[in-house]
Amino acid sequence: MKYSLSLPPVEELKADCSACQGMCCMAHKHHVSDLFPISQDKPAGKPCEYLQYDAGFACGIYEQRQSRGFHICCNFDCLGAGQELSRFFEQNFGYKWSVDPYMDDPAAHNNMTVNMRYAYNLLEYTFQHIVGFLQDVGSVRTQLVYELCADFFDELSEHLYSDTLSGKEFDPNYWAHSLKGVLFIIRRRFELLDLLEQGSLLDALTRIKEG
């Protein structure tokens, strides 16, 4: 495996469309609405009608999105999940989902495209939850959160790589559940550190016994 998924530095947790394969434009499901005025409903996995995925994944109306009413697009930020996942598949498999011959039929997508889509949704979910968690615990503990989450991203990368390589369907629900467990453990650790810093050794020991 040449490239592993990781949590980008805080200042880089933002979308960079120029480094992404238009993941949100393909993976997300959208209904026709005033906030997303496409000609017909777009199922998850089908590229947006304005995405030029055969020409560098550029949006054909990028500069006119606001004036044309695509407010969902203008206000959305994947926090860097799109470019991170794109790098993973490009560097490890030399793969871009635009080569899938059944791109317009999500039910017929090949395993590589399916895993790419599932993993993108998971990574977007993961980044959003970790950013929210960082806001709760404060910037002074940011580095520690990164260190404690490192194993999660290493294991996620290994499983996504091996599942894709073997043709197995990646299970994002398992990893979303695992993330909640990781953040719960980290939060409890911080609670114990707070008690110890306050000199409440007995309270800290009580918390440990309570699990």
Determine the Cα–Cα distance for residues 178 and 6; give it in Å rounded to an integer: 16
Residue 124 has pLDDT above 80, yes or no: yes
**Statement: the pTM of the whole predicted model exceeds 0.85:** yes
Judge contact between 97 and 21, C-beta under 8 A.
yes
**Residue 55: pLDDT band with limits 50, 70, 90:** confident
Cα 165 to its chain centre, rounded Å, is 20
Residue type, position 62, single letter: Y
**For helices 111-137 and 142-166, what crossing angle results, to 10°?**
170
Judge contact between 125 and 85, C-beta under 8 A.
no
Mean pLDDT of 21-37: 96
Mean pLDDT of 27-53: 95
Q: Give the DSSP H or E segment for 86.
A: helix 81-93
Q: Which residues contact 51 (CB under 8 A, 6 or more apart)?
A: 22, 25, 26, 57, 58, 59, 60
Q: pLDDT at position 208, please?
A: 46
- What proportion of the chain, given as a percentage, has pLDDT over 90? 79
Residue for token digits 């005033």? 34
Mean pLDDT of 144-156: 94
